Amino acid sequence: MRVPLSWLREYVSVDAPASEIAKRLAVSSAEVERVTRIGVPDEDGNLGHFRVGRVLEAGKHPNADRLQLCRVDVGEGESRQIVCGAWNFGAGATVAVALPGAVLPDGRKLERAKLRGTVSDGMILSESELELGADQGGIMVLPESWEPGTPLADALPLGEEVLEIETTPNRPDLLSVYGIAREVASLFRLELAAPPGTDPRLAEDETPSIEIRDPAGCPRYLGRVFQDVPLGPSPPWLKARLLAGGMRPISNVVDVTNYVMLALGNPLHAFDLETIRGGIVVRRAGAGEALTTLDGVARKLDPADLVIADHERAIAFAGVMGGEETEVREKTTSILLEAANFEPVGILRTSERHGLRTEGSNRWEKGVDPHLAAQAAALATELLVSVAGARWSGHADVHGELPERPIVRFRPERASELIGLEIPAEEQRQTLERLGFELEGDVVRVPTWRARDVGREVDLVEEVARFRLADVPFTLPRRREMFGRLSKEQRLRRVLEDVLVGLGFTEAYTSSLVPTGQDDGAVALPEPLSAEQAALRTTLIRGLVEAASRNIDAGNDEIALFEIARVYLRSGESLPDERWRLAGVTEGGFAGAKGAVEALHAGLHLELRIARADGGVLLHPGKAAALEGGWLGELHPALLAGGWGAWELDLAELFARVPERVAYEDVVSYPAVHQDLAFVVDDGLLAGELVDVVREVAPELREVRVFDVYRGDQVPPGRQSIALHVSFQSPERTLSDEDAREIRERIVATLAERFGAELRA
């Protein structure tokens, strides 16, 4: 919403500079994007260089066919000689003149200059040069009654400061200059003028025929007939206001409707009365019905679209855009003015369905006060009669029961309590009354323009609070029963992150949305952002593979990445099963991944149990393993070449096994006995099977670690040597050599029996 300051000051006489108004509005009412200045700069007496002038003589320039040579009276006694390129005026015309030294809106500085050998001592101005209109065709001809020499700024809005305000969707009342004026009046505690627009006398009685068939979609339709409409351009002040308000002037009739919308917030529409067959019908579109809108687009209507129709066809999208056939055009002499009210959601849907957003639809979809239509009609009528010179000849106002003003119970002490700032009841009352609320005891009647937004006590608390936000103190809750801590899962996730970071892994964030086709079981999005983001992921590993691959391409080294995030699995219920996973990708192949997974298990005090597994599509078939709640392995070279280790763990399964607490073991008081044992066994035997048996038979075992696996000349074909480092320790006594020998013999015997293992010398 663009609010020109001179327009605002018509409704509230605020002296504060634009920046101060902007600052207060931004805190208490609506965001002010910026304050801009348009038109002639008002600096260093620049406005003094712009005058009303009267052309005394005008004729062809002696040296140029396309230029006029004029003598212009600018109230100085002596006239000035000015060269001009336009021909739409002659002697006697009243014009706008800029004198040498003037700075024009586009920044050009005017100098006394010679044009084709003739001195030009000023410039006769067009609308567009003053940013007062879009017309570049000729110079601006002013009313004859204006005296030469009059400062132009007294007669025309030459320069203007404009507040660019971004309102919130709950405040359609602020999408109008008058609505902003109401806020400004409250903020600065000033008098607010009565809303603009007073009906002139209605001379005739040419009642238009109006029928509302869908009162839910259109609670009110006020139509007015005007005859003898001299269609033409608007006066400069009106054009200037529209331009400052961000709208292009079109014709006096259209400009008046737009002016009223900007002034009061109620969009209007004008139809060429002669093109309407019969009368107005407000209804839903029929099946197969079509409408060509003002922008020249032929549109197929949806049965849910609310339309304005006559007795034969749809003639406008209600509230969104008029139709081409009934548009006001040059030959128009009579019009039907529509000041209606439309229900928001229907307008929003139509506007979305047809991809049409207009100044009008933007206001309707936020909800316009149905009571406002009469005021808007009055202002439009006043202007059509006074500005355009039209004759008002008929009126009809069709509506059912208009909504009552909501009544809300309000306790000022409750407001102070919720805000945390003691605001006297009298001050609260004044604040509300300035905004148009009526108070009687603890009962508040809400003004019609706030009826959608204010319906309960807390809404009134906001009305009071927003004017005192800067005074609200800084406190903390009184902490009745507060206790903050991470849950076990959150704490353990941090442990895992820290373990991995300590190992040199870097955390990646990859997309939860993946292409379809990776996993047929994945939950797909019916209307995805793109083919690449069409389903919810069921594994983290693919994102990490992509991240690793990007890092390889970037030439980065020491690539080791992990991610802790959710995957989304079909659950059979309406919501998928969201599971936290931890995955990693690292240099160093299978052993690299396994080392990390071992460290993760150690970090959680978990034993790692591992078994061979088939690699699936992701892993090298010979280097794949299953874990409890996950897998690890070497990535299939087709996925990422170069021997990359990878794993993925389900955190719920992992955390379920984490011990509540770690019990103390005495590993200090008595020394451990260390021994290295190498066994020759069959080639197919897994080292882990050997280790498991060692654990089983030797309760005194403190540690067992495979430190060498050998195949070759030193062992028979088909056999391998597996070397174990073992240590034995008792928490109760020092183990003797005899003890150690006994344990070793037990191990050797059992391994021989189970696996045919031979102890190497």
Stretch 299-358 residues interacting with other proteins (CB under 8 A): 344-345, 348-349, 352
Closest CA relative to residue 51, chosen from 145, 120, 150: 150
Instruction: Please give the DSSP secondary-structure letter assigned to residue 636.
Output: P
Q: What is the per-residue binding string for other proteins in 28-67, x denoting contact by CB under 8 A? A: xxxx------------------------------------
AA identity, residue 316 = A
Residue linked to tokens 């069959």: 682
Min dist CB 57 to other proteins, Å, is 51
β-pair type (64-73, 50-61): antiparallel
Q: Which is nearer to other proteins, 411 or 702 (CB)?
A: 411
DSSP 65-129: EEEEEEEEE-SSSS-EEEEES--S--TT-EEEEE-TTPBPTTSPBP--EEETTEEE-SEEPPTGG
Cβ closer to other proteins: 474 or 664? 474
Q: How far is the CB of 529 from other proteins (least distance, A)?
A: 6
Provide the minimum distance between the beta carbon of 474 and other proteins in the complex, in angstroms, as a whole number.
Answer: 4
Number of neighbours of residue 166 by Cβ within 10 angstroms? 11
Instruction: Provide the angle, in degrees to the nearest 10, between the axes of the packed helices 177-188 and 18-28.
Output: 90
Least Å distance, CB 579 to other proteins, is 11
Residue 171 binds other proteins, judged by CB under 8 A: yes
Given 298, 476, 531, 761, the residue binding other proteins (CB under 8 A): 476
Residue 646 binds to other proteins (criterion: CB under 8 A): no
Could you tell me if residue 530 is left (phi over 0), alpha (psi between -120 and 50 degrees) or otherwise beta? beta
Residues 502-531 that bind other proteins (CB under 8 A): 502-513, 523, 525-529
Q: Which is nearer to other proteins, 225 or 547 (CB)?
A: 547
Query: Does position 480 bind other proteins by CB under 8 A?
Result: yes
Cβ nearer to other proteins, comparing 297 with 486: 486
Look at residues 568, 431, 558, 470 and name the one whose alpha carbon lies nearest to residue 512: 568
Closest CA to 452 of 219, 227, 656, 632: 219
The distance of closest approach from Cβ of residue 460 to other proteins in the complex, given in angstroms and rounded to an integer, is 10
Q: Which is nearer to other proteins, 170 or 675 (CB)?
A: 170
Of 309-317, 474-482, 654-662, 667-675, which segment contacts other proteins by CB under 8 A? 474-482
The CB density around residue 54, as the number of other CB atoms within 10 Å, is 22
Q: Residue 474: is it exposed, middle or buried by C-beta count within 10 angstroms (0-12/13-18/19+)? A: exposed
Given the complex with other proteins, which of 322 and 360 has the nearer CB atom? 360
Stretch that binds other proteins, among 63-71, 131-139, 488-496, 642-650 (CB under 8 A): 488-496
CB of 344 to other proteins, least distance (A): 6
Measured from the CB atom, is 466 or 760 closer to other proteins?
466
> Under a CB-based contact definition with an 8 Å cutoff, are residues 645 and 587 in contact?
yes
Alpha carbon 333 to its chain's center: 44
Site for other proteins in 109-138 (CB under 8 A): none
Q: Min. distance of Cβ 366 from other proteins in angstroms?
A: 10
Residue with smaller CB distance to other proteins, 201 or 479: 479
CB 637 within 8 Å of CB 577: no
Structure tokens at 598: 């071992």
Residue type, 310: D
Closest distance between other proteins and the C-beta of residue 304, in Å?
Answer: 13
* Size of residue set near other proteins by CB under 8 A: 88
Which residues between 10 and 29 bind other proteins (CB under 8 A)?
26-29
Classified as helix, coil or strand, 585 is strand
Yes or no: say if 184 and 12 are a contact pair by the CB < 8 Å rule: yes
Residue 478 lies near other proteins (rule: CB under 8 A): yes
Residue 466 touching other proteins (CB under 8 A): yes
* DSSP for 719-759, written as a single string: EEEEEEEEEE--SSSPPPHHHHHHHHHHHHHHHHHHH--EE
Least distance (Å) between residue 297 CB and other proteins: 20
Residues 526-565 that bind other proteins (CB under 8 A): 526-529, 533, 536, 547, 550-551, 554, 556, 558-561, 565
Task: Mark the segment that binds other proteins (CB under 8 A) among 37-45, 233-241, 401-409, 472-480.
Answer: 472-480
CB of 184 to other proteins, least distance (A): 15
Q: Which of 64, 418, 672, 759 binds other proteins (CB under 8 A)?
A: 418
> Tokens 């323009």 appear where?
449
